[in-house]
Amino acid sequence: MIRSFLPTDLLAILLQDGSLSDMARTWDGMCRTRSRLLTLSGLLVLSLNPRDRRRTWVWANGFGFRGLASVRKRCMDTSWEIDHLILREQDTACCSSLLERLSLTGGENDVNRIFLRLPSDSCLIAAADEAGFSCYMREYLCWLQNNRQPASAPAANSDSIPFPRRKRPVDDYRVFELYEKCLPVSVRRVTGMTFSEWQANKERGMKAEWVFDGEEGLAGWLGIRSSGRVGQIEVMADSDERLRRVVDYGLMFLGNCQQLFCLASETNSALVQVLEQRGFSRVGMYAALAKEPMAKQKALCLMPASA
């Protein structure tokens, strides 16, 4: 039976034999240590917070537990992402049922898109496909053990890229224009063809954003996140040369981090090459999936004609 998560479900999950895995990945969770105890304690705290908009479902029968799925919004309520999918990796039936249930709830709540990221070799991708999710992009997770001293700022020159500045709200549309130049149509059809769609579907977790001004619009954009000694970057640039400079600025800003991560699309060979030239290694590959839930049809309210 699939139902909403209850705090008492924690006991049933903890009594499992350790065969459960959290298969879902979010952008800001790629570089975290995935402890089952920390995950469950986090779900408990959020379930007790009346202001949290998280929705969590479990497949349970009494004290028997089979799986859990939870979603959170991305940047707006019309866009969800699955941040936890806890089950046995081979249990495709449970996976499909949980994804169908949360999709139904998404449609009832006028959600336009639900995102899910899974390891690219997971058998759950077929189960997600059964539930209506489609893979729109594959990504490499690139990792660097940073043993170097913090780098100084790259020198700017007329053929390269100007110094960065912190992004301001007025820059949002210019970042969107750069996004249109950098990402293929096949990806933008899912992540947003219009400015409002892109705003709703953006990944969560950026701690700081920087922009690089060009002669016509922005020449580059850099998003960074750090937690303790671990850092993560995301980059866009309008040329390969400028891409190298944006990556170098990201490495400079996170120079005190011991481990650095970056997700790079399989089709973005220029970024993968730049990262590998800087010492990054590919340590994983992920499938980015999405689904448009069926919106709940509103019943017509008919009024009898007056005599």
Q: Say how far apart CA 165 and CA 101 lie, in whole Å.
A: 44
| CA distance linking residue 11 with residue 41, whole number of Å | 11
Is 142-288 the same fold as 2-138?
A: yes
pLDDT at position 228 is 84
- Position 50 scores a pLDDT of 52
Q: Answer yes or no: CATH 3.60.20.10 is held by domain 2-138.
A: no
- Residue ranges, the chain, pLDDT below 50: 158, 298-301, 307
- Distinct helix (H) and strand (E) counts, the chain: 9, 13
Residues 6+ apart with CB under 8 A from 125: 118, 135, 287, 289
Whether residue 144 contacts residue 281, with contact meaning beta carbons closer than 8 Å, is answered with yes
User: What's the pLDDT score for residue 216?
Assistant: 82
For residue 261, how far is the Cα from the chain centroid? 14
Provide the whole-model pTM.
0.88
Gap between the Cα atoms of 287 and 137, Å rounded: 6
Contact 295, 114 (CB under 8 A): no
* pLDDT tens, position by position, 50-87: 555 568 899 987 667 889 999 999 999 999 999 999 99
The topology (CATH level 3) of 142-288 is Aminopeptidase (3.40.630)
With a pLDDT cut of 70, the percent of the chain lying above it is 83
Q: Tell which phi-psi region holds residue 18, choosing left (phi > 0), alpha (psi between -120 and 50) or beta.
A: left
By the 10 Å C-beta count (0-12 exposed, 13-18 middle, 19+ buried), 44 is classed as middle
pLDDT for the residue numbered 215: 83
- DSSP sequence for 124-151: HHHHHHHTT-EEEEEEEEEEEE--SPPP
Which candidate, 138, 34, 131, places its Cα nearest to that of 84? Answer: 34
Given a contact cutoff of 8 angstroms between Cβ atoms, the answer to whether 115 and 71 are in contact is: no
pLDDT at 299: 47
Angstrom distance (rounded) from CA 214 to CA 112: 34
Give residue limits of the domains in the chain: 2-138, 142-288
| DSSP label of 214 | -
Q: Of 5, 208, 12, nearest to 98 (Cα)?
A: 5
Q: Radius of gyration over alpha carbons of the chain, in Å?
A: 21
